[in-house]
Chain A
């Protein structure tokens, strides 16, 4: 898991998320649209339970992408519906979420696929 998550910053830097502010663009080029806020939420929760505000900040630190609150909660609602994350007891008005065992399995599978894609893509860039 740690090895796979180590690649996430690299992965995120190469995509522009739907309904997000890409605040850390390296070269200002729009490389296309890749809509997967749920994957970012799962990756953020892989390091421990967090509430919405902490998730936005963590994802921004992770890959420079700032999820909008609507996009974040759209992802949270669907991930919870799928049983990949679960709510914890609220702290004041904020409610933390944690990733479930199913969520970890899905995240691992998705990152493995992306890692294979990344390796294959980088190999093709190597001089023949």
Chain B
């Protein structure tokens, strides 16, 4: 079965089910020959799963899925730190106008630096722990974290602070 078709079919299932079985189910679908009967079988099972969820919608997540990994503190904390650092620079703009470069960086500048530098060991811990266990979802989370870091750094470079 083509990867795109498999992805569409898997999206018919409830999120909790996809988080738990999505990865292995996709591997199975991609390995099978596609046919009308297989597509119909998957669609019917997905509908059945939505009407009668396996564990009442409270299915235990696959610990190796993206949804489960991104909820770990080592994944969430760096993203939160970057977003706080971003808000430290961006939030005062509506009230005080664009920030200007000053010889003394001030409390906000120091706080920004602490937040950005402080997340590096957490990022390293996350990468060491999860890249071996679940490479693909971990890379997705790392991309999110890097995106958050870049978004926090963007206004600093933009305003030449």
Does B bind A?
Answer: yes
A88 to chain B, nearest CB (A): 11
> With A77-B17, A77-B21 in contact, do A70 and B28 touch (Cβ < 8 Å)?
no
| Binary B-proximity of A76-91 (CB < 8 A = 1, otherwise 0) | 1110010000000010
Mark the stretch among A3-11, A39-47, A92-100 that contacts chain B.
Answer: A92-100
With a cutoff of 8 Å between Cβ atoms, the chain B residues found around residue A73 in the complex are 21, 25, 28, 45
Enumerate 19 A-B pairs (CB-CB under 8 Å) in ascending A order: A19-B44, A53-B28, A53-B31, A69-B25, A69-B28, A69-B42, A70-B41, A70-B44, A70-B46, A71-B41, A74-B54, A76-B21, A77-B49, A77-B54, A81-B54, A93-B24, A93-B27, A94-B27, A94-B28
Q: Which residues 38-59 in B have Cβ within 8 Å of A in the complex?
A: 38, 41-46, 48-49, 54-55, 59
Interface contact A69-B29, CB-CB below 8 Å: yes
Contact B17 A69 (CB under 8 A): no
Say yes or no: B24 contacts A52, CB within 8 Å. yes
* B136 nearest CB neighbor, chain A only: A93
Do most interface residues of chain B lie in helix, strand or loop, or is the interface mixed?
Answer: helix
A118–B32 alpha-carbon span in the complex (Å): 34
- Of the candidates B20, B24, B45, B64, the one whose C-beta lies within 8 Å of that of A68 is B45
Q: Nearest Cβ in chain B — how far from A85, in angstroms?
A: 13
- B117 smallest CB distance to A (angstroms): 35
A119 within 8 A of B: no
Min CB–CB distance A94 → chain B (angstroms): 5
Judge if A21 is at the interface, Cβ distance under 8 Å.
yes
Instruction: List residues of A whose CB falls within 8 A of some B CB.
Output: 19, 21, 51-53, 56, 68-74, 76-78, 81, 90, 92-95
Q: CA–CA, A72 to B24, complex, Å?
A: 12
* Leading 5 A-B pairs by shortest Cβ distance: A70-B45, A68-B41, A93-B27, A70-B42, A52-B28
- The interface residues of chain A lying within 8 Å CB-to-CB of B26 are 93
A68 and B31 in contact (CB under 8 A), knowing A81-B55, A93-B24? no
Q: B1-32 interface mask toward A, CB cutoff 8 Å, 1 = contact, 0 = none?
A: 00000000000000001001101111111011
**Cross-chain contact of A53 among B17, B32, B54 (Cβ < 8 A):** B32
B29 touches A74 (CB 8 A): no
User: How long is the Cα–Cα vector from A53 to B28 in the complex, in angstroms?
Assistant: 6
